[in-house]
Structure 1
Amino acid sequence: MLLNLRDLMEPLRRRIEDPQKQKNLILFIVSTALLLDNMLFMVIVPIITPILARGLDALNTYRKNEAKNMPCSLNMLFRKIWQPKKGSEDISIGILFASKAIVQLIANTVTGSFIDRIGYELPLLMGLSVMFVSTLLFAIFTSYGGLFFARSVQGLGSALADTAALGLVADRFTVDEERQRALGIALAFISFGSLVAPPFGGFFFQYFGHSVPFILLALMCLCDAFLIGMVAAKKAEDDVARENKPVGTPMWKLMSDPYIAIIAGALVVANIPLAFLEPTISKWMEDVMDATPFQKGFVWFPAFIPHVCGVMICVALANKYFRFQWFYGAVGLAFIAISTAFLPECRTYGQVTVPLGLMCFGIALVDTALLPTLAFIVDTRHASVYGSVYAIADISYSFAYALGPIVAGNIVEKFGFITLNLGMGAVSILYVPML
């Protein structure tokens, strides 16, 4: 049995030993990690309300027997403390969605330096392990407090995994054209994970129960962690023989670099529309066009094609005209501004998919152009260590997604959906001259 296992592992070991094949394996591991993180981020969207409804039913049953049975489990403790009150569901769910991004934002203030010190493989393994635990917690808990805790734990895992994954790609793909292509592929997996997760979660929740989608994602996390663990073991052997490893530039010094600061701002501005629309567009579609649950669940899915097209176009252009990366990002922001201006005028499901597709096309241009530019700036102006600079990028994403679920609903309630979109469009177009 042991001999057969070794025989099965031999092809994987040979792939890890070969430098070129190892790069392709690393790209697969990184893309899978980013896919899983974004699937776990979005899989809860269509099923959070029925999960909390079941948890509330269980809580009511528990309270009836509270005098006879003392609370004896962590899940019951969370139910007792954290179950949202009636009438505050929208705010409570908004905070639940934002909790992951808030924890991720805070954790990224230290993960960048941590990754710079010990490398990329081990933090990625740690991040996937934490994500595995958080995914199992999602499968176990049905109360608001339990889901809040699981969501927060995921934020810690994402801070390690996302930053290490992007840094690992930048470290292994040193040629600008290769790096651009590799980061473009990783971004495509991020988009696919975000868009496929809601129907994935809704299907398995409806037919197999709420635990099944999370158990499947946990198993995928475990497999990906096993692969990066083998790569990390090989990297540790190589590091023993290598001395004088470069020392990373502190995060505060990178943030003071005007080029990095401008890119960080652009990433925030580009992702605010997506972060603000995800928690608000479903209700707007229901009010304006009486959208069905299917239409609300799949409204973002057609946008995957324009996003991939944006990635491919930007990679192709960057391979020929790399110095125009800033211009590609500015064009992307302009597309985002145009899409937010037209979205409130849509009155059918088919019409809505057009500006959303245009928006995702613009986001793809911004991300695909500027993420490799961060590595280029570090290579030319600082030490070629990428943990802190991609922690800054992850902070930018986290900031947008921390604000979105909490702020967007209040803006729509007080000023309307049209005002929200026009405001986001104005911010995008005003930022274009910065690039």
Structure 2
Amino acid sequence: MGERLQQFGTVMVDPRRRSILVIVCATLVLDNMLFTVVLPIIPEYLALDSEEYVYERLHENSSSIFNRTNRDVKIELLFASKAILQLLVSPLSGTFMDRMGYGIPLLIGITVMFLSTVIFAFAENYGTLFAARSLQGLGSAFADVSGIAMIANKYTEKLERSRALGIALVCISFGRLVAPPFGGALYHFAGKLVLFVVFACVCLTVGFLVLGVIKPFSIRNRDNTPEGTPIYLLMFDARIAVVAGALVACNISFAFLDPTIAEWMRDTMPVTEAEIGMTWLPGFFPYVLGVFVTFQLAAKYPNLQWLFGALGMVIIGSSSCVVPYCKTFGQLVVPLCCMCLGIALVYTVLLPTLAFLVDARHVSVYGSVYAIADMSCSIAYAMGPIVAGQIAQNFGFAQPNLAMGLVTVVNAPVLLILCCARQ
């Protein structure tokens, strides 16, 4: 145990690699905070001074996810717009990275994120909000993919790459789970302008760090880069395709719950708005635990990594099936924490595996393969907000959760059988 902890510390030994890892992690925290910070504030913001909203609420039978209004559809499209654009741009950004390196795309992503936050800060209508949210997707397609690919490129040894990516995963989780309560509180006390100006300043800071430390325009960062395997060939690699399918499956339940769970909680259990804002926050702790435990198990049993990923998918799927039957906030926290634990198992195994598959079967250039991973997640989150409301209206809240949980569980043995096959 002590030896593994000492090895874990070697991730931070090389000063340049340490600086790059810190910058990438800061970018991932920022991007994922921007992804979820709008969840608690956009519905309220769109409701302000909205005659359409007042009319619809007066004519509803109840405040329920089963009575969808034009405003609800607008919110669903707004939330999905980021993932849709991210899905469309990721293949192009991955190919661009394979040819230009990872520094320039990272800077592009941060710059676009800055523009998005500025637009959000001054947006006063739905069209401007939609443009800002879509720009977030464009920035993420460059920033997320290039950041993860840069880590895979800098940390080439199997164990240290898994450690570095594990640190990045913790940063992703921190950004996503902490942003809603943080954003809701800052919006309540300081307003939307201050909230997004803060994020814009952080974007600028990270951008200057990229320019000063990574030096993306340096010829050294682009010379002697081998030509990567085209993304369409990677998609036809059966093992990469299985990993991509697993990433879609394990995100489906999260993508459905994000836009529906708040209203469902209001309709079915005694909760405060503060509790709704804190819904996912307790899941951060089992997520971090899951990353650490999975890393330890993978180091000890390297031939069983696929089993850990399959176990994570079973945990996610079974927990998703439990969610609709929770009657109190305390009960709900348990399956949501289990889902976060499961996603930690899946990501801690599968993200390093994509790099190892490329090393073993293709050219060791990682932009396109992590673009495929980004596309897989975006598929789930592009469909989730748009489809979730309609499904909930037609079938209720429980049935879709059961169906999507079952899809995740069914995919677990597929991952095990296909990926345990010899190369």
Tell me, yes or no, whether TM beats 0.5: yes
Distance in 2 of aligned mates of 1:121 and 1:374? 20
The aligned amino acid for 1:386 is: Y
Distance 1:348 1:103, change over 3 A: same
If the length of structure 2 is used for normalisation, what is the TM-score?
A: 0.89
Partner of 1:125: 107
Q: Which position in structure 2 is the counterpart of 1:370?
A: 350
Matched, 1:305 2:299: no
List structure 1 segments (4+ residues) > 6 angstroms apart after TM superposition: none
Paired with 1:411 and 1:215, the residues of 2 have a C-alpha distance of: 36
Q: Among 250, 263, 282, which residue is 1:270 paired with?
A: 250
Q: 1:92 maps to what in 2?
A: 74
Structure of larger gyration radius: 1
Distance 1:150 1:252 in 2: 30
What residue is the counterpart of 2:30 in the other structure?
Answer: 36
Closer, same or farther: CA 55–125 of 1 in aligned 2, 3 Å:
farther
* In structure 1, distance between residues paired with 2:342 and 2:117: 31
Question: What is the one-letter code of the residue matched to 1:319?
Answer: A
Correspondent of 1:22 among 9, 16, 35: 16
Q: Deviations over 1:224-280 (max 9, x none)?
A: 11111123327725347x54x311000000000000000000001011111110111
Structure 1 counterpart of 2:39: 45
Question: Which stretch of structure 1 is more off in the superposition, 146-155 or 288-297?
Answer: 288-297
Match of 2:317 among 322, 333, 337: 337
> More displaced, 337-346 or 422-431?
337-346
Deviation at 1:424, TM superposition (A): 1.1
* One-letter amino acid matched to 2:74: S
Residue identity matched to 1:418: A
Q: What is the CA-CA distance between 1:323 and the residue it aligns to?
A: 2.5
Contact 1:332 1:361 in 2 (8 A): yes
Question: Residue 20 of structure 2 contacts residue 214 of structure 2 at CA under 8 Å; is this kept in 1?
Answer: no
Q: d(CA) in 2 for partners of 1:90 and 1:148?
A: 14
Between 47-56 and 355-364, report the one with greater CA deviation. Answer: 47-56
Displacement, 1:341? 1.8
Tell me the residue number matched to 2:366: 386
Counterpart of 2:48 in 1: which secondary structure? helix
TM-score (norm 1): 0.87
Q: 1:326 offset after TM fit, Å? A: 1.2
CA distance in 1, matches of 2:355, 2:335: 31
CA distance in 1, matches of 2:204, 2:165: 23
2:302 to 313, 322, 343: 322
Matched residue SS, 1:105? helix
Decide whether the 8 Å contact of 1:199 with 1:297 is kept in 2. Answer: yes
The residue aligned with 1:152 is 134
* SS of corresponding position for 2:226: coil
Hey, what's the Cα distance between the residues in 1 that align with 2:364 and 2:217?
Answer: 18
In structure 2, runs of 5+ residues without a counterpart are: 1-11, 52-67, 416-423
Cα separation, 2, equivalents of 1:306 and 1:87:
36
Structure 1 unaligned segments of length 5 or more: list them: 1-17, 58-85
Which residue of 242, 251, 257 maps to 2:237? 257
Q: For the residues of structure 2 that align with 1:386 and 1:311, how far apart are their CA atoms? A: 22
**Aligned counterparts of 2:124 and 2:259: Cα–Cα separation in 1:** 21
Counting only pairs closer than 5 Å after superposition, residues 287-306 of structure 1 correspond to structure 2 as: 287-306=267-286
Against the structure 1 CA distance between its residues 19 and 185, is the aligned structure 2 distance closer, same or farther, given a 3 Å change threshold? closer
Shift of 1:109: 1.8
Partner secondary structure for residue 147 of structure 1: helix
